[in-house]
Amino acid sequence: MAKADRRRWVVATCVALVVAAIGDAGPEIVESRSLFAGYDGPGPLIYLGVAAMVAAVRWRFMPLLAVVTGILFLVGGFSDAAFVGRLGTPTEPVHFCAGWLQMAGFAATVAFGVAAVWWHGSVPAGTAHPDERQDTEMEGPRR
């Protein structure tokens, strides 16, 4: 896998964290009709901060920060009885959809983050193009 493919997985990881932040902050923003008045905690800011760090730092293992964040918030969400009850009963459609959007965002964050780290696309030294041989006996593409 090339570096461009790995970068796509990193971007997908960051987008999934933004989706989780929208799912977390969405109901409060809809109810208060204001971006700042419905603030209920630092969760969405944490997700956006982690997404910004993963996008800005070009280290191979940086997406693991997003993976750990996703796992921690998945476990935290599913261990809260009130949140699980909200996921199981769609009495309030906005809270129901936002809860599932948030959990889907975290699950996608974990999957995409692992993919970004696992399939890093290392190319052996001396081979600029995998379909071309780099020895002195043959020039041009492989037949």
Taking CA atoms, 20 is separated from 51, 69, 124, 135, 139, in Å, by: 11, 11, 37, 50, 51
**pLDDT at residue 137, rounded to an integer:** 53
**pLDDT at residue 6, rounded to an integer:** 79
Tens of pLDDT, residue by residue over 34-54, are 666 666 778 888 999 999 999
**pLDDT at residue 37, rounded to an integer:** 63
What's 66-135 look like in SS3? HHHHHHHHHHHHHHCHHHHHHHHCCCCHHHHHHHHHHHHHHHHHHHHHHHHHHCCCCCCCCCCCCCECCC
Do 17 and 66 meet the contact criterion of CB atoms below 8 Å apart? yes
- The stretches in the chain having pLDDT less than 50 are none
Residue 141's DSSP bridge partners are 132
Q: Against a cut of 0.85, is the pTM above it?
A: no
